[in-house]
Structure formats: structure tokens, C-alpha cells
Chain A
């Protein structure tokens, strides 16, 4: 009775997600759609940053936004009001998006009709960093009130990112936030990280960030 057979699997749990993410990236490359995975803590200013970016770039790029939240549609409504097509992805309680959920969002949005698609991930510095969504580039936002030690506390997030926005520079005078230290810590984890201090409220620093976005989009989409 109760005889069992052992089957060796030896497979990474993330293998299927990584494979799906690669498939998404290849398809987006063919479609000439540049997908960004935008990550941060709750309240760092992802939606506000997106609204300003959309307002500045909407004449030159066709921009679509996918808002991921555990519940509610408030972010998608805010983005729609800013003038970009937005859809809401509900994660159903999950703390991050994986490639499968991203793919569903891309289909619903009709990603092939956009030059630039931004996936606004769930506000969380831990879990989203673990899952490849299929995005061409990862971007994180760290806001001044969160403190300059975050790259030390959440190293993986800063390792997987290609660009980092340091948001809310308008409140720098009120916080003990050390800009040199945050650069040092972030580059310790990721020497190639592009860092842009910005204020989504005043627009300070946005030209440099938007130039990066423009160049990266053009490079991915083949220059046109």
C-alpha cells in the first residue's frame, strides 16, 4: 500500500514567470512598445509623477498606463483625467504583479497602439522586485520623507532598477535627507543606476527624467 514514486523536478519556482516575462518582452519589442515597470512605496508619488510626465509628453508619445492596485480605481481615474488611456489591474490581494497579470493588462489596454506603456506596480518595495513583469526597464521612485537609507534596507529593489527618481525634492528643507548618501548607497547596490532628483509637484528635475524616457523609448522602439 501507499507506494510512492519520486519525480525529481529541480526547477526554480520563478522559472515559469521568467519565461513568460521573456515572451512578453520579445512581443513588445516587435510591436515597438516600450514597457516600464514603475515601483515604489505607497505614497512616494507614482501617480502624481505619471500625471506630470503624461502632460509633458502626450504630444510626442502615445502613452498607455496600467494601474495595479489591490482594490479601487482611483488611480486609473486620476490618470484618465490627465489625458492618457488607463486601465486598472486588480491584484486581488496580491502584493505584486507577475508576468501573467501584466500580460492580461497589456491585452486589455491594447498595448500595440502605444509607444510607451507604464505599469504602475503595487506600492511596495519588497515583493515587486522579485517578479519580472516583462518590462523593458524597471524604474523606482523614492521620496524624500522616506529617508536616504532605503537602498540599504531594500537592496533588491535598487539592484533590479535601471532608473531611480528621488521625488518630493521640494520638501528637502524639512527632512534630514542626505542626497549624497542616497546616491552613494544606491550606486553601491547598482553602479549603473540613472538617478533623477525631481519634484512631481513643482516639476523640478523633470526635463532630465523625461529626456531619459524619450531616449529609452526611442532606443527600444527603433529610433522612430
Chain B
């Protein structure tokens, strides 16, 4: 249950963000997930629903997952290619001297907070 542990991390991060911004309730969380981040969006949102319901700050908050494409760079031919389709071997020149440029991100992009009535 990797995703569940990850969700607890997200909630902890959000608690810190909420404290900094004097926020008491969050209604939506947007996550950016690289294609090769090893986190499965569907599991993540399922675990989120379960865990978020138990926390006043995020109870009922929607989680939106944006996928970021994974791109690999080939050191031999200098070109880039989509990682998921071709893995570690460059489709242009067949080289294995490649490295991931992006696609393993796992970011909390933004949160939405209901506007509260101004206090007294």
C-alpha cells in the first residue's frame, strides 16, 4: 500500500501549508504526477478519499491528478524521446546511454480553499 503512505505525507504537507496560510479547510488539491513516478493515480485518489475523510482540514476535498509526460535524453545522439514508449533504449540510435529528463515528479501543485466570511 505505497499510495496510502504517500497520502499521509500529502496530508502532513497540507497541514503545514494550511498553518502558514491560516487556512482551516481545503476543498480541492491538485497533484502533478510524472508518468514514471511509480505512483498510480487511481490508487492515489482511492487512498485519498479514505484518508482525507478522517481529517478535518481535508475532509471531502477532491483530489485532481495532472499527469506530466516522461521524457528521456540520449547522450549519444542528443535527441529526446518519450520514456514510456521506448524505455531506456534510444529509438533514434539504439544507444543505452540515456537518462530521464523529467517524468518522475510528484508535486502538490495547488490547493483550493473556500472563501470564508470575514470574522466579526
Binds B, one of A9-17, A33-41, A215-223: A9-17
Chain B contact patch, size range? 20 to 34
Is residue A74 contacting chain B, with contact meaning CB distance below 8 A? Answer: no
Is residue B27 contacting chain A, with contact meaning CB distance below 8 A? Answer: yes
Are B13 and A16 neighbours in the complex by a CB distance under 8 Å?
yes
Known: A4-B115, A13-B10. 5 other contacts (CB 8 A): A4-B112, A4-B113, A8-B109, A16-B16, A126-B38
Are B110 and A9 neighbours in the complex by a CB distance under 8 Å?
yes
Are A98 and B109 neighbours in the complex by a CB distance under 8 Å?
no
Are B115 and A12 neighbours in the complex by a CB distance under 8 Å?
no
Min C-beta distance of A102 to chain B, whole Å: 13
| Distance, CA A126 to CA B39, complexed state (A) | 11
6 nearest CB pairs, A to B: A3-B115, A9-B108, A4-B112, A127-B2, A13-B106, A94-B5
Are B1 and A3 neighbours in the complex by a CB distance under 8 Å?
no
**B3-45 residues at the A interface, CB under 8 angstroms:** 4-6, 9-10, 12-13, 16-17, 21, 23, 27-28, 31, 38
Q: Which residue of A lies closest to B16 (CB)?
A: A16
Query: When each residue 95-117 of chain B gets 1 if its CB lies under 8 Å from chain A and 0 otherwise, what string results?
Result: 01000000001111111111100
Are A13 and B107 neighbours in the complex by a CB distance under 8 Å?
yes
Classify the interface of chain A: helix, strand, loop or mixed. mixed
Given A13-B13, A16-B13, A17-B9: A6 and B110 interface contact (C-beta under 8 Å)? yes
Given A10-B107, A10-B108, A11-B108: A4 and B27 interface contact (C-beta under 8 Å)? yes
Q: State the interface size on chain A (CB cutoff 8 A).
A: 27
Are A2 and B107 neighbours in the complex by a CB distance under 8 Å?
no
Is residue A96 contacting chain B, with contact meaning CB distance below 8 A? Answer: yes
Min C-beta distance of A180 to chain B, whole Å: 18
Which residue of the partner chain, among B17, B27, B38, B107, contacts A12 with CB atoms under 8 Å? Answer: B107
